């Protein structure tokens, strides 16, 4: 046995020595760089996602059959530049002799696509809800949107008489899980089982938040997902038995510099807007607010270095502003998000309607659908940037009306009143501008109000640099 062990040990030593010889016998060579070929994939299609219109959330209640609410839903898909290549979810090309690619007496749903390389795209859609009486009295457009993975819905409240329905659409080919966070006046709220929502591929899910949110006069909802979805918050308000507004809260940006265009201050004391700011950070923040109108930009009185506690929601009244059209700017040393509630009410105790304006990005080309209501288009150039702007009204028959033109100095501001019967507008600018539409209409027993952004569909840039070596 001793001899066997000795032979084995000698064999191992011999193999080890041989291996070392082989390693050191490999000839040395100089490393050299091989130029890589770079390839970029074509941009993904630009997709516009339409999630339908207003739907009553109440499953039971008082009998309202005797109330003539005159409730209607109408929808339009409008496009000019680049719209000749629009296809629906089934791949069918849309064609039209006018700017209206699709118009229906009902809700607009589905996904509409345009090749990603399309330039200066002007494409928008939406479903207009109107009612002259009943719980859903008012006017509200649910606009078609671009899918995203991170959105802030700044608006509404959790209180008796307010109904909140979150509408999430998944345009993708795979199911997704959507995560929800709710912020209130004192911090994060516990959503319990509603902190996550599963949305099947190609589906729209409507989720009532009533009962899940603790009572709070100011809220915001943060929507995130592993995939790209769209989200809006349908808000319906009752003051006792009196209808007090209906609106769709659309996504706001999160940034250290925010702009909300087309903020309307009414003639009546009951028509004062409210600015809502959400500190999305885990530390306290200070924000400063300024406003722009036709006379220029000035700080909001009392709006400098306003403190906001960590992860809380703050409301500021804009009661110090005279009646007119404004653009509101918010700056902060840390990222925040914001929205503005607009109000239409002729007098205390009279019918009331509301709309939430969102903090939007600037555009050089875009469009908005709002329906045949009296419309004002507000356009503001950023500080330090001049721009020439063209706004073209689209009539209910799809014909383009006479265009409005303006040359804006840096920080300039203009409001155009659209002709009667205008249902949509398109916009082109030589440099980025902030733009949105406010509609107001006289209906039975009062006025309505709504706010719609002038929207440019986001490009989902799927290009990647790929290194290929020999």
Asked whether residue 23 carries a pLDDT value surpassing 50, the answer given is: no
**Residue 205: inside a domain:** yes
Domain encompassing residue 58:
46-459
Report the candidate in 399, 151, 129 with the shortest Cα–Cα distance to residue 245.
129
Query: Quick one: tokens of 112?
Result: 């509409």
| Distance set, CA 34 to CA 40, 84, 466, 470 (Å) | 19, 44, 15, 8
Question: Does the residue 226 lie in any domain?
Answer: yes
Digit-coded pLDDT (tens) for 177-215: 999 999 999 999 999 999 999 999 999 999 999 999 999
For residue 274, is it within any domain? yes
- Name which of 18-27, 114-123, 147-156, 368-377 the model is least confident about: 18-27
Place of tokens 């952004």: 453
Beta strand 242-249 pairing with 187-189: unpaired
In this prediction, residue 68 has a pLDDT band, given cuts at 50, 70 and 90, of confident
Residue 466 inside a domain? The answer is no
| 50 has a pLDDT exceeding 50 | yes
Q: Give the N- to C-terminal CA distance of the chain in Å, as an integer.
A: 55
Query: Mind listing the pLDDT tens digit for each residue in 112-141?
Result: 998 877 777 799 999 999 999 999 999 999
HEC string for the chain: CHHHHHHHHHHHHHHHHHHHHHHHHCCCCCCCCCCCEEEECCCCCEEEEEECCCCCCCCCCCCCCCCCCCCEEEEEEEECCCHHHCECCCCCECCCCCCEEEEECCCCEEEEEECCCCCCCCEEEEEEEEECCCCCCEEEEEECECCEEEEEEECCCECCCEEEEEEEECCCCCCEEEEEEEEECCEEECCHHHHEEEECCCCEEEEECCCCCCCECCCEEEEEEEEEEEEEEEEEEEECCEEEEEEEECEECEEEEEEEEEEEECCCCCCCCEEEEEECCCCCEEEEEEEEECCEEEECCCCCCEEECCCCEEEEECCCCCCEEEEEEEEEEEEEEEEEEEEECCCCCCCCEEEEEECCCCEEEEEEECCCCEEEEEEECCCCCCEEEEEEEEECCCCECCCEEEEECCCCEEEEECCCCEEEEEEEEEEEEEEEEEEEEEECCEEEEEEEECECCCCCCCCCEEEECC
Question: pLDDT-derived band of residue 446, with 50, 70 and 90 as boundaries?
Answer: confident
pLDDT at 437: 98
State how far the Cα of 292 lies from the Cα of 208, in Å rounded to an integer. Answer: 37
Question: Is residue 177 in a domain?
Answer: yes
Q: Given a cut of 90, is residue 96 above it in pLDDT? A: no
Percent of the chain with pLDDT over 70: 86
Task: Convert the pLDDT of each residue in 255-267 to its tens digit.
Answer: 999 999 999 999 9
pLDDT digit string, tens, across residues 379-408: 999 999 999 999 999 999 999 999 999 999
Residue 237 pLDDT? 96
- Give the chain's mean pLDDT: 88
CA dist 38 to 34, 35, 137, 468, Å? 12, 9, 57, 7
Q: Measured between alpha carbons, how far is 198 from 229 in angstroms, rounded to an integer?
A: 12
Quick one: average pLDDT of 240-249?
Answer: 94
* Number of domains forming the structure of the chain: 1
pLDDT of residue 56: 87
CA dist 398 → 258, 401, 456 (Å): 34, 9, 19
Q: Looking at residues 428-436, what average pLDDT do you find?
A: 97
pLDDT of residue 97: 87
- Gyration radius from the chain CA atoms: 28
Q: Residue 26: count other Cβ atoms within 10 Å of its Cβ.
A: 7
In a domain, 247, yes or no: yes
Does some domain include residue 276?
yes
Q: pLDDT at residue 306 above 50? A: yes
Question: Which pLDDT band holds residue 443 (cuts at 50, 70, 90)?
Answer: confident
Cα–Cα separations (whole angstroms), residue 241 to 104, 267, 351: 32, 26, 11
Measure the CA–CA gap between 354 and 375, rounded to whole angstroms: 15
Residues 169, 124: Cα–Cα separation, whole Å? 17
Say if 26 falls within a structural domain.
no
Decide: 77 and 125 in contact? Cβ < 8 Å.
yes
């Amino acid at each position: 046995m001793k001899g066997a062990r000795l032979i084995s040990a000698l064999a191992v030593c011999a193999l080890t020595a041989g291996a070392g010889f082989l390693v050191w016998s490999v000839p040395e060579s100089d490393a050299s760089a091989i130029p890589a070929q770079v390839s970029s994939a074509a941009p993904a299609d630009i997709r516009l996602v339409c999630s339908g219109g207003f739907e009553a959330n109440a499953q039971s209640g008082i009998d309202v059959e005797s109330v003539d609410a005159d409730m209607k839903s109408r929808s339009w898909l409008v496009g000019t530049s680049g719209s000749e290549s629009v296809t629906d979810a089934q791949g069918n090309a849309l064609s039209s002799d006018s700017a209206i690619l699709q118009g229906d007496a009902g809700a607009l749903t589905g996904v509409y696509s345009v090749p990603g390389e399309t330039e200066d795209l002007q494409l928008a859609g939406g479903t207009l809800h109107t009612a002259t009486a009943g719980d859903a009295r008012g006017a509200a457009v649910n606009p078609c949107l671009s899918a995203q993975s991170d959105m802030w819905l700044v608006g509404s409240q959790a209180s008796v008489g307010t109904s909140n329905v979150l509408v999430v659409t998944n345009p993708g080919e795979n199911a997704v899980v959507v995560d929800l966070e709710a912020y209130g006046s004192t911090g994060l709220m516990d959503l319990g089982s509603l902190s996550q929502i599963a949305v099947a591929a190609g589906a729209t899910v409507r989720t009532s938040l009533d009962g899940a949110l603790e009572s709070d006069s100011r809220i915001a909802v943060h929507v995130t997902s592993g995939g790209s979805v769209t989200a809006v918050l349908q808000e319906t308000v009752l003051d006792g038995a009196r209808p007090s507004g209906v609106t769709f809260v659309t996504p706001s940006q999160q940034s250290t510099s925010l702009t909300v265009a087309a903020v309307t201050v009414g003639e009546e004391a009951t028509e004062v807007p409210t600015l809502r700011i959400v500190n999305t950070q885990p530390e306290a923040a200070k924000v400063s607010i300024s406003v722009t109108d036709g006379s220029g930009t000035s700080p909001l009185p009392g709006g400098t270095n306003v403190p906001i506690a960590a992860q809380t929601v703050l409301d500021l009244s804009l009661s110090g502003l005279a009646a007119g059209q404004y653009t509101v700017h918010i700056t902060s040393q840390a990222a925040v998000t914001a929205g503005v509630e607009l109000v239409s009410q002729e007098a205390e105790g009279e019918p009331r309607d509301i709309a939430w304006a969102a903090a939007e990005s600037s555009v050089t080309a875009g469009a908005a659908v709002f329906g045949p209501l009296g419309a004002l288009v507000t356009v503001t150039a950023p500080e330090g940037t001049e721009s020439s702007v063209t706004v073209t009204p689209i009539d209910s028959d799809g014909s383009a009306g006479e265009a409005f033109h303006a040359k804006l100095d840096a920080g300039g501001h203009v409001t155009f009143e659209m002709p009667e019967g205008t249902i949509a507008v398109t916009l082109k600018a030589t440099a980025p501008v902030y733009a949105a539409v406010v509609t107001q209409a006289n209906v039975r027993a009062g006025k309505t109000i709504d706010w719609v952004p002038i929207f440019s569909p986001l490009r989902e840039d799927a290009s990647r640099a790929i290194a290929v070596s020999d």
